[in-house]
Amino acid sequence: MSRERRSAALLVTLLMTLVATGEAFSVRDMEGRELVLSAPPQRIVSLVPSVTEMIYALGGEDRLAGRTDFCDYPPAARAKTSVGGMINPSLETLVTLKPDLVIATSSGNREETFRQLTRLGIPVYLMGADRIAEVKDVVRRLGALTGRDAAAAPLVDRIDRRVAAIRDAVKAYGRPRVLYVLWPDPLIVPGRSALVTELIDIAGGESITAADAEAYPRYSLEAAVAKAPEVIVLANHGARSGPIAIDRWTRLTSLPAIKSGRIHSVDGNLMHRYGPRVLDGLEQLARAIHPEAFR
């Protein structure tokens, strides 16, 4: 037996012993992968801005040892050590933080990063949310991982209450056709499995790109125009992406949305992150789609 195989066998034996004696902390991530830790994690590195926000919302930031450059909310998160970007985090910095657990996402981090962390013996817990139900699942899971189970239930209740309030506010009105522009060039829109698509539905609209099988497909301007959107929503990504290119849309004067002046800008960080602020994003959408419901 090779040295690597002997080491792996010893590790498995140790973990099985820990589980048998009740000293291990066994969890299953959102992709069904089982992780066995020697104890509940005390030092967590988050490679996901949504997760970082949620940990703070739960009051579990004492266990957050590190974050990415993109984990910029709440402002207090910037005081935590950054390991760099989501795509290419600095493994050297990450290792120096001595994490018990790294939380990542298969939709924003590279597979190579997962492999490197595994080789270093650092457990990786994968998370992601494409639906409000999964957002609530994230809350509960992070509550358990950070020892903040008691804070998770009120946050889940708040999500349920605000979603119900939005549904109730818009239910008496029609469902206009909505074009949501996640990125202007190339034109990227939300497809069937994107969280934004469900948010549009809750907000009382009908996304014209909801039938696309991809989560975030590229679209041609011609295809978008052909669907005659009645409301156009442009995601603003802040100073990093520059000003929104609104002119390319306002010149399309034949579109119902342009004829009625129904072109809106929303904060993309609220729509595309599944942290607690997604509820604020939902309300922004609802007010853009049904301003008459919020007078």
Percent of the chain topping pLDDT 70: 90
Q: Assess whether pLDDT exceeds 80 at residue 282.
A: yes
Residues 6+ apart with CB under 8 A from 108: 47, 48, 86
Which DSSP helix (H) or strand (E) runs through 114? helix 111-119
**Domain 173-290, CATH number (from 3.40.50.1980, 3.40.50.300, 3.30.565.10, 3.40.50.620):** 3.40.50.1980
| Predicted confidence (pLDDT) per residue in 63-108, tens digit | 999 999 999 999 999 999 999 999 999 999 999 999 999 999 988 8
Mean pLDDT value across residues 256-262: 95
Is the Cβ–Cβ distance between 55 and 35 less than 8 Å? no
Tokens 């950070």 — which residue? 146
Asked if 20-152 and 173-290 have one fold, the answer is yes
Whole-angstrom distance, CA of residue 29 vs CA of residue 214: 23
Least confident of 56-70, 107-121, 242-256, 269-283: 242-256
CATH 3.50.50.60 fits 20-152, yes or no: no
* pLDDT at res. 240: 56
Q: How does residue 10 score in pLDDT terms, banded at 50, 70 and 90?
A: very low
Tokens 């011609």 — which residue? 222
Q: How far apart are the first and last CA of the chain?
A: 73
Q: Cα 28 from chain centroid?
A: 19
Amino acid identity, position 126: L
Residues 6+ apart with CB under 8 A from 246: 234, 263, 265
* pLDDT at res. 295: 79
Is the Cβ–Cβ distance between 109 and 86 less than 8 Å? yes
Tokens 């597979």 — which residue? 111
Q: CB-side exposure of 126: number of CA atoms within 13 Å? A: 17
| Predicted confidence (pLDDT) per residue in 160-215, tens digit | 999 999 999 999 999 999 999 999 889 999 999 999 999 999 999 999 999 999 99
Q: Where are the domains of the chain?
A: 20-152, 173-290
| Residue 265: C-alpha distances to residues 45, 133, 136, 181, 193 (Å) | 33, 26, 27, 10, 22
Q: What are phi and psi of 256, to 5 degrees?
A: -55, -40
Token pair belonging to 247 = 């002119």
Closest CA to 70 of 295, 184, 240, 292: 240
